[in-house]
A = this chain, B = another copy of it.
Amino acid sequence: MSEKRIMVIGGGPAGLEASRGIVELGYELVLVEHLEELGGSPISADYAALTPDMEDTGVAMARMVDAVVGNENADIRLSSSIASVEGSAPNFRVTVESGGESEVVEVGSIIVATGFKHFDPGRETQRYGYYEFDDVITLIDAERMLKGGGFVRPSTGEPPKTVCFIQCVGSRDRQIGNQWCSKVCCGVATKEAIEIKHLLPECRVIVFYIDMRVYGFWEDQLYWKAQEEHHVNFIRGIISEVTKRGDTVVVKGEDTTMGRPMEVPMDVVILSVGMEPSDGTLAMAEMLGLPLECHGWIETIDGALNTVQTPVDGVFVAGAAAGPADLEDSISMGGAAALKACSFVRRTSLPTI
């Protein structure tokens, strides 16, 4: 095959699916991952189980990694970063740095799959006391505990009797500049609530929410299941503050269904933090000259009818680098971006008449 190679930047779900697509179609791949392991956030942030299937994350992601690693068309660079990009499609010259060495790699097309980062609740949402109280944690901290096979109150190491989730931390919030809904947090919180009830059937688990956005099949797969089989409570409410009384954190706000203020002591408070563009996503946008859409994520062209094509010739985007995305979004976009990148390098290698 005479087509130029395709570079995928980022080895999470979107990047891995794009990579699999490229090599299975017989095209040549260079996959660059800045961490020392493939798998993206599900692996690096120690997710316990995937949403909504609850399959073990390690097992599921290993299947994706195995589909790429060892393929004769795959050149995989771990612990590597992009120092610069020169030229334009189909003649990109990408400087890849790894362990102090740098190498110029020539590719015909680039797929940016650099994903998101988790919102830091120590910023403008410090009213929830994340950096102040041990028993206030995030969805990601909870995943890590669940992955370890247990769930305890951090300040005591004992099983909690009451746990609550506060939704939309760092999302749907004009004040902090994150106007978007992060799409997955309602589903992930519901999944974690079920996992906690599995481990601690006697624990009272509450989810405080504005709208439960458990769309599609998540409705009954997660939301109904949590309520009916696991007796998780979902309370529509606005949480204004988390404080402390003695050794216990106290959640203050308003139950908007009952129309009354509430003040609930909790053993553990879990902040459902949303997504922001990752540092890698912003760096690649800058380096490749990719415009950002109005929320600050990588822009695609043609609105809803073209989910992976950027305005820069030969550069495609997949997964949460283009905005909040669930796993299905990332996987479908990974495949779609691989298809367009393969078509692109094929077209540019055809003899001109």
Q: Give the B-binding residues of A (Cβ under 8 A).
A: 13, 17, 21, 24-26, 50-53, 55, 60, 63-64, 172, 179-181, 183, 211-220, 224, 236, 256-259, 293, 295, 302-308, 323-324, 326-329, 331-340, 342-343, 346-347
Contact = CB atoms under 8 A, between A and B. Distances in A.
Given A25-B346, A180-B216, A343-B21, A13 B305 contact: yes
A216 B324 contact: yes
A306 to B, nearest CB: 7
B339 A335 contact: yes
Most buried by B among A179, A211, A214, A332: A332
Given A259-B259, A304-B331, A339-B339, 9 more contacts: A17-B305, A25-B25, A25-B346, A217-B324, A256-B257, A304-B328, A306-B331, A307-B328, A338-B339
A181 B223 CA distance: 11
A304 B335 CA distance: 13
A213 B214 CA distance: 8
Closest 7 CB pairs of A and B: A335-B336, A53-B303, A332-B332, A304-B327, A211-B211, A179-B220, A339-B339
A327 to B, nearest CB: 4
A37 to B, nearest CB: 17
A328 B53 CA distance: 22
Contact of A180 (B21, B51, B220, B323): B220
B55 A216 contact: no
A214 B212 CA distance: 10
14 contacts: A24-B343, A25-B346, A53-B303, A60-B302, A180-B216, A180-B217, A180-B219, A181-B214, A181-B216, A213-B215, A259-B259, A304-B328, A329-B329, A332-B332
